[in-house]
Amino acid sequence: MPYHRVLIASANPLFGQGLEKMIQRQWKNPQLEIRRVDSNEAVLNEMQNWSPDLIILDYDDKTISRAEFLQEFVAGDQPMQVMLVSLKSSGAVVVYDRRTLTPAQAEDWLNLPKFSQATSEHPPIQRRSSMKHFVIVGVLIAVFTAVIYFLLSNIPLLPIAASVQAQPIDELFNLHFFMISLLFSLIVVFLGYSIVVFRHKPGEEEDGAYIKGNNPLEIIWTIIPLGIVIYFAYLGSVSLAETRRADPQALEIKVVAGQWFWRFEYPDYGIVSNTMVMPVNKQAHLKLTSLDVIHSFWVPEFRVKQDTLPGENLVRELRVTPTELGEFKVRCAEMCGTSHAYMESPVIVVTQAEFDQWVQDQLAALGADPVARGEVWARNNGCLSCHSVDGSPNVGPTWKGLYGLTHELTDGSVVTVDDEYLLTAIINPNAQVPKGFAPGVMPQIYQDTIPEQQILEIIEYIKSLK
Amino acid sequence: MKGILSYGILRGLIGQIVGWAAGIGLVTGIRALMGLAYKAEPAWVVGAALGIIGFLIGIGAFRDWFAWAKGEETPDPEEIHEEPGVKRYFGYSLDHKVIGVQYAFLSLFLLVVGGSFALIFRVELVQTGMQWVTLNFFNTLIGMHGMTLIVSILMGISAMSNYAVPLLIGAKDMAFPRLNAFSFWLAVPASLVLVSAIFTGGFDTGWTGYPPLSIRAPMGMQMFFVAVFFAGWSSILGALNLIVTILRMRAPGMKMFRMPIFAWATLATSIIALTATQLIGTSFQMVSFERLFGMSFFDATKGGNPILFQHLFWFYSHPAVYIFVLPGLGIISELLPVFVRKPLFGYKWVAMSSLGIALVGFLVWAHHMFTSGMEEYLRVPFMYSTLLVAVPTGIKFFSWVATMWMGRIRFQVPMLFIIGAIIVFLMGGLSGPPLGTVSTNLHMHDSYFVVGHFHATMFGGFIFPLFAAIYYWYPKVTGRKMNDLLGKIHFYMLTPGFLIMSFGQMQIGLLGMRRRIADYDPAQGFETAHLIITIAGFMVALSVLIFLINLFVSAKRGEVVTENVWQSRSPEWTVLPTPAPMHNYPQPIRVVGDPYDYGLKGARYVEILPQQAGD
C-alpha cells in the first residue's frame, strides 16, 4: 500500500531518524511526507489535525500513553494504520488497521505492559519476510511439479494401450499423474523448505511462532480438495461409461476359467479354444464364468479387468475392442490356488480375414480321429496345465508312457493303469491317488463339465502317448 | 520348576497345549461315540479354540473373575503393588504401562516373523521360475505375511494407545485394568495359532481368504480363521476399554478439546474397531462353518453367493486400514509440535478430521470390489464416497505443513521418523485416488500397484510413527534414551529402502505385474525391478535389525534420562518422574491450558492440584 503521510512517534531520536532514512531509501516515493514527534500530546495532536495514513509507534517508549492513543485511534473514521515496532525484544513488528481492529486485540494491546514479558514474542508476524518465503515456495512448487510430471510421463508406467477401452482410462491416468505431481510437490516443497529455513539453530532456545490456526485457511483447504475429488469422481464415471459402451454387432466369446486354465468358447461358430483369437477393431462381448473358484480376466494391454465367478447365475461381462494386432496374454489376477501364477493364456489379435481363416481351420481340425479329438479336449479343459505329455514333472503325473504302467497308490496298494483306472482318475480323482502326489489337488468336476464321449477320447489320447 | 512356573507366560503355554489336546480329544471322543472315525479338521479347530482358553486360564486371566463368582474378595487394581523388574513383563500384570510394553513386544515379535516371511518370498521373486520354495509354500507365505503383520499392527496400535493414553489424559490406569490384561493375553495364544497355520498345511488364499478358494484350502486355513477370530475379539475389548477410558478418566479441567490430539485419534480408531471388527469375525466364521458343517453361505450351486463374503469382509477390512493408520497419524500430530516448538495448527480441525476419516471410512468398503462382479450400479456411488476420504486426510497434511511453517524445528531421532512418516504416507495417500476412480481401478486392481500403495500407507501411517513413538517414550519406560547414532542409521536406511521398494512395486504393477504370484512371465521384463525391490526390502529389514539391537542394548547402556528430555509440554513429561512410577501420577493434576502452546511464554498445560486440607 502506498502511504503518503507517515508519522513516527518516539521519544528516542535515534529511532525516528533511523526509521525515516530507511523508509525514504526503501519506498522511493516522492510524494511521501514523514513527520517525527516525541511526546504523547504531539502524537494526539498530529493524529487529529494532520491525519497521517500510517503511524509508526515505538513500542518500547513508555512516554506515550497507549490508552489515550488507542482511544483516539479507534474513534476516528479516516483510514489509518498503526505499526508497533519494538527494538528491544527481537525487532517484533505488528500492524493494526483502524477499521479492522477488534476489541479483543485492543484489549490485548492495552494489557501488554503487565505481561510484556509473556507476550513480547507473541505478535511477531513478520509480514515482509513471510511474503518472501511464500514467493520462493511458490516458484519451487511450480518447478517441482513440472519436473515430477515430466518424469512420470517419460518413465515407462503403463504397457501399450491396445484397446478402444484403454483410451479414456489412459486419459484419466494422465490427469491423475498430473494431480499427483502437483500435490506431492505442494506438500514436499513446503515441508522441505521448512526443514531448511525454519530449522533450529545450535544454541537457540526460542520456540517457533505462536500461531494456533487459521479457520479461513482450513475452510479453503477443505473446499478446494472437495471440489477436486468430486470432479475426479465425475471423470471416473464418464470414462467408466465409455469402457462399457456396447456394440450390438459385437462378437460373443464365452470365457471359462478353471484351476488353472482358460477356455474360450465361440458360440456363433461352435468352436472351443484355449487361445483367445480376436479380430482387430471389432468389439468382443466377453461373458465370463468360472468352474471352481474366483479368477479374474486381465489383459494388461486392454486395461479392463473382470473377476469370473463360479455359478451359472453369476456370469459377468466385459467389452473389449482390440486396436493393435499382435499376441498378448490373459493373466489371472485373482488368487486362485497353487498354480495361480501360471494361469495365463495367449490372446491373439488378428485381422478379420485371418480370424475367418482361423475359424475354418478350427472346424476342419476336429476330424474323426479320436486321438486328435482327445488332444483338443485335453487342451481345452486345462488337463495339460498339470499333466505333461513329454515326461517332464508337473503338478500331476505325466501322461507320457502312463498307460499300462503299474502305479503304487498312496494307500500302498498297486494298480495297473488301464481304461477303467483312467476313467476313475478323471471323474473321481481322489479315489486312487498315486504315490508322490497329494489328494485334493485335481478338481473333482470333470464328470459334470466334460461329456463322457470326450472323456473317452481323452483316454484314447493318453493311450497314444507312448 | 516352581521358579520357572512363576513366569506367567510359561503357565499360559502349558495351558494352551493342555487345552489344545483336550479339544482334539473331545471332538475325537464324541465322534468315536457316534461311531465316526478321527477327522483332523474339526478336532484341530476345537483344539485351537480351547487351547486359547487354556492359555488364558494358565496365565490367570480369569483368576479374579473366578474369585468373584465364588463370592471371594479381590484387591482393587489401584491397591496392588507389583514387584518392579523385568519379570512382570512376562506375566499377568494390570499396569497399563506394562501391558503397553507387552503389546509392543508382541507387535515387534510378529513384525520380525511376518517380515521374515516377506524376505523369503522376495528372494524367490528375484528370478523367474521357482528356485527355493514350492508354489504352495509361497502362497502360504504371502497370506501369512499379510495376516501376521495385520495382527502385529493391531498389537502396535494397542501398545501405543495403552501406554500413552492414560498418561496423556492424566489417568491412573485404564478404565478396566483386568479387561485390559485379558485383551492382551488373548492375542498371545491367538498369534501362536496363526503361526501354527504354516505347520498344519498352510493356505493358498492370501490374507483375504476369499471363498470358494478358502473352502478348498488345506487345514491351515482353519487355524488362520480361529486366530483372526480371537485376535479380533482382543481388538474389540481393547477398543471398548480405550473409549471408556478417554470419555471417563480424563484429569479435571481436560475438556474434550483440551485432550492431547493422540487421544482423539485413539478415540476415532476405537470407535471403528469396536463396531466393525465383528464383521471379519463373522465372515471368517461363516467360511469355517461352511467347511465344517457344509453350510452353503457362499456356494452359488447351493443358493449362496461368493460376493456376500467380500461385502462382509471388506466392511471390516477397509475401515481396518483406518484403524491401522489413525493412531499413527495421531502420533505425527502429537509429536510434531514438540519438535517444531510451535502449536499444532488447527487443533480442532485435526481432531475432527480423525472422526471424519472414521465416519467416511465406513462408507467406502466396496471400492475393493470394483472388478469383483458385484452389482454394477454400486460402483459409481462407492467411487464418490471413496474419494471423499481424501478431504479429511488432506486437512491433516496441510495442518502438519502449516505447523512446521515458521517453527524452530529440532531434528532429534523421533522427529526424523515423523518427517519420514509424512513423506511416506503422502506417497501412499497420493497413490490412492487412481485406485479410487473405477475406470483406472479396472487396470490396477489386484496388481502390484496395490501392494505398493498399501505398503506406503502402512509404513507412513503405522511403521514410521511407531518407531517415532518408541524413540520418544522409551526414556519414560526405561529411564534411558535410545542411542542417537543407531537411531539415525536406522532412519537413513529405512527411508530410502522403503521408498525404492514401494515405488518399484507401484511401477511394475502399472506395467502388468499381478499381486500374489509366485512366478512371473519373463517376457514382461520385471527381473531387474524385482531384484531392486528385493535389495531395498533387505535394506528395510537390516534397518529394523539395527533398531532392535538399539532397543535392547539401550535398555542397559543408554544415556540415563531423568527429566523432560524432549522439553515436551505433555503431562507425562512435565509432572511425572522418569521412568514412570506405578499408578502414574502420585498427586492429582489439573488441566489449566491448551496442550500445544509452544511459543507462548508462561503458558501452562497442567498443574499439580494443591492438596486440600482435611481431605
Question: What is the C-alpha to C-alpha distance for residues B464 and B542, in angstroms, rounded to an integer?
Answer: 15
Reading the block at residue A163, the C-alpha cell is 484397446
| B91 domain residue, yes or no | no
SS (H, E, C) A41-59: HHHHHHHHHCCCCEEEEEC
What per-residue confidence (pLDDT) applies to B516?
Answer: 95
Residue with cell 499396569: B95
Evaluated on CA atoms B19, B25, B28, B29, the torsion sign reads: negative
Q: What is the mean pLDDT of residues A408-437?
A: 86
pLDDT in tens, B187-232: 999 999 999 999 999 999 999 999 999 999 999 999 999 999 999 9
Q: Which CATH number fits domain A127-200+213-243: 3.90.660, 1.10.287, 1.10.405, 1.20.950?
A: 1.10.287
Interface of A with B in 387-406 (CB under 8 A): none
Chain B residues with CB-CB distance to A199 below 8 A: 408-409, 411
User: Does A164 touch chain B if contact means CB atoms closer than 8 Å?
Assistant: no
Indicate whether B482 pLDDT > 90: yes
Same domain, B36 and B113: no
Architecture category of domain A251-365 in CATH? Sandwich (2.60)
CB A329 within 8 A of CB A278: no
- The predicted complex's ipTM stands at 0.93
Q: What is the mean pLDDT of residues B96-107?
A: 96
Interface of B with A in 535-574 (CB under 8 A): none
With an 8 Å Cβ cutoff, are A210 and B340 in contact? no
- Per the prediction, chain B carries an average pLDDT of 93
CA of B133, closest CA in chain A: separation in Å? 12
pLDDT in tens, A3-32: 778 888 887 777 788 788 777 777 777 777
Interface of A with B in 103-142 (CB under 8 A): 115, 117-119, 121-122, 130, 133
* Domain end among B26, B54, B71: B71
Identify which of A119, A169, A218 has the shortest CB distance to residue B443. Answer: A169
Indicate whether A110 pLDDT > 70: no
Q: What is the mean pLDDT of residues B160-170?
A: 95
Same domain, B507 and B358: yes
Architecture category of domain A5-119 in CATH? 3-Layer(aba) Sandwich (3.40)
What per-residue confidence (pLDDT) applies to B80?
Answer: 83
| B52 domain residue, yes or no | yes
Confidence band, pLDDT 50/70/90 cuts, at residue A89: low
Chain A residues with CB-CB distance to B307 below 8 A: 309, 314
Reading the block at residue B437, the C-alpha cell is 476412480
Question: What is the C-alpha to C-alpha distance for residues B93 and B72, in angstroms, rounded to an integer?
Answer: 20
Lowest mean pLDDT among A201-205, A259-263, B96-100, B139-143: A201-205
Reading the block at residue B597, the C-alpha cell is 502452546
pLDDT exceeding 70 applies to what percent of chain A?
Answer: 91
**Number of structural domains, chain B?**
2
Chain A residues with CB-CB distance to B431 below 8 A: 180
Lowest mean pLDDT among A421-435, B158-172, B496-510: A421-435
| B180 domain residue, yes or no | yes
| B262 domain residue, yes or no | yes
pLDDT in tens, B336-392: 999 999 999 999 999 999 999 999 999 999 999 999 999 989 999 999 999 999 999
Domain with B51 in it: 7-71
- Per the prediction, chain A carries an average pLDDT of 85
Chain B residue with the nearest C-alpha to that of A311: B300
Question: What is the C-alpha to C-alpha distance for residues B386 and B388, in angstroms, rounded to an integer?
Answer: 5
Terminal CA-CA length for chain A: 97
What per-residue confidence (pLDDT) applies to B614?
Answer: 47
pLDDT in tens, A230-267: 999 999 999 999 999 999 999 999 999 999 999 999 98
Same domain, B134 and B17: no
| B87 domain residue, yes or no | no
DSSP H/E element including B172: none
Chain B residue with the nearest C-alpha to that of A329: B521
Same domain, B521 and B479: yes
Indicate whether A2 pLDDT > 80: no
Indicate whether A220 pLDDT > 60: yes
Identify which of B397, B516, B520 has the shortest CB distance to residue A335. Answer: B516
What per-residue confidence (pLDDT) applies to B2?
Answer: 62
Indicate whether A183 pLDDT > 60: yes
pLDDT in tens, A54-67: 888 887 777 777 77
Same domain, B51 and B188: no
Domain assignments of chain A as residue spans, ordered by start:
5-119, 127-200+213-243, 251-365, 370-464
Cα B360 to chain centroid, rounded:
20
Q: What is the mean pLDDT of residues A34-51?
A: 80
Evaluated on CA atoms A388, A393, A395, A398, the torsion sign reads: positive
pLDDT in tens, B132-162: 899 999 999 999 999 999 999 999 999 999 9
Query: Which of B128, B313, B376, B437 to mutate to probe the A interface, most A CBs <10 Å?
Result: B437
Q: What is the mean pLDDT of residues A360-364?
A: 84
- The DSSP annotation for B391-414 comes to HHHHHHHHHHHHHHTT--B---HH
The more confident residue out of A373 and A342 is A342
Q: What is the mean pLDDT of residues A63-74?
A: 75
User: Does B408 touch chain A if contact means CB atoms closer than 8 Å?
Assistant: yes
Count CB neighbours of B162 within 10 A.
28
Q: What is the pTM of this model?
A: 0.82
With an 8 Å Cβ cutoff, are B437 and A233 in contact? yes
DSSP H/E element including B589: strand B589-591
The more confident residue out of B566 and B301 is B566
Indicate whether A435 pLDDT > 70: yes
Domain A370-464 in this protein, CATH class: mainly alpha
CATH number of residue B133's parent domain: 1.20.210.10
Confidence band, pLDDT 50/70/90 cuts, at residue B1: low
Same domain, B426 and B567: yes
Confidence band, pLDDT 50/70/90 cuts, at residue A124: very low
With an 8 Å Cβ cutoff, are A225 and B394 in contact? yes
Same domain, B153 and B253: yes
| B510 domain residue, yes or no | yes
Describe the crossing of helices B413-430 and B484-511 by its angle, rounded to 10 degrees. Answer: 10
What per-residue confidence (pLDDT) applies to A66?
Answer: 74
| B543 domain residue, yes or no | yes
Query: Which of B299, B405, B448 to mutate to probe the A interface, most A CBs <10 Å?
Result: B405
Same domain, B236 and B309: yes
Indicate whether A114 pLDDT > 50: no
As beta bridge partners, residue A317 has A287
With an 8 Å Cβ cutoff, are B439 and A240 in contact? yes
What per-residue confidence (pLDDT) applies to B97?
Answer: 94
Chain A residues with CB-CB distance to B422 below 8 A: 187, 191
Question: What is the C-alpha to C-alpha distance for residues B365 and A148, in angstroms, rounded to an integer?
Answer: 31
Q: What is the mean pLDDT of residues B10-36?
A: 95
Amino acid at site B201: G
| B461 domain residue, yes or no | yes
Same domain, B305 and B449: yes
Identify which of B205, B388, B391 has the shortest CB distance to residue A335. Answer: B205
Q: What is the mean pLDDT of residues A103-114?
A: 55
